[in-house]
């Protein structure tokens, strides 16, 4: 088994690791987009609810309920902002893992390519030596042949 063939299983594992990391990045991107959409929806709802109610005065009990609900909305927006930040950090970690996996795969591919090129050169040199030996034997045979 040649050196390049011995690298093939390692290369397959590295490529699988890279594929897994890419899938995880895609999943984290999707989760981040989903969390950002929720945050945007919460912010829009909070902005809409922050507008004063139409029509004159409001009863004190209703005003107290409205203020309490607005406070809960603000808390929900802050909590969702933290979730988005956390999702973004997880996504960034997975992107870094993908970058590392890609580098590992590239290094192994370059090493395997180098080994294959070296193996090809050695094989070509062996064939050339064999052809040279064959040619030299023919020349000797021709020279030894009586004329």
Per-residue pLDDT at 95: 97
Per-residue pLDDT at 59: 83
Structure tokens at 86: 């956390």
Per-residue pLDDT at 56: 67
Between the alpha carbon of residue 125 and those of residues 88, 112, 119, 128, 135, the distances in Å are 55, 20, 10, 5, 15
43: Cβ contacts below 8 Å, ≥ 6 apart: 77
Per-residue pLDDT at 55: 67
Per-residue pLDDT at 141: 86
As averages over each run of 10 residues, the pLDDT of the chain (147 residues) reads: 89 96 96 97 90 75 88 96 97 96 95 94 95 91 77
Per-residue pLDDT at 54: 72
Per-residue pLDDT at 75: 96
Which residue ranges form the domains of the chain, and what is each CATH number?
Answer: 3-144 (1.10.287.1700)
Per-residue pLDDT at 58: 77
């Amino acid at each position: 088994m040649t050196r390049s063939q011995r690298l093939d299983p390692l290369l397959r594992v590295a490529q699988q690791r890279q594929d897994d990391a890419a899938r995880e990045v895609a999943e984290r991107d999707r989760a981040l987009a989903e969390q950002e959409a929720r945050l945007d929806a919460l912010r829009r709802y909070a902005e809409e609810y922050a507008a004063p109610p139409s029509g004159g005065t409001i009863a004190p009990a209703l005003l107290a309920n409205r203020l309490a609900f607005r406070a809960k909305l603000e808390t929900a927006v802050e909590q969702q902002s933290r979730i988005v930040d956390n999702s973004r950090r997880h996504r960034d970690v997975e992107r870094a893992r993908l970058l590392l996996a890609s580098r590992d795969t590239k290094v192994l591919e370059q090493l395997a390519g180098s080994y294959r090129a070296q193996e090809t050169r050695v094989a070509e040199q062996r064939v050339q030596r064999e052809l040279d030996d064959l040619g030299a034997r023919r020349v000797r045979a021709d020279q030894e042949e009586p004329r």
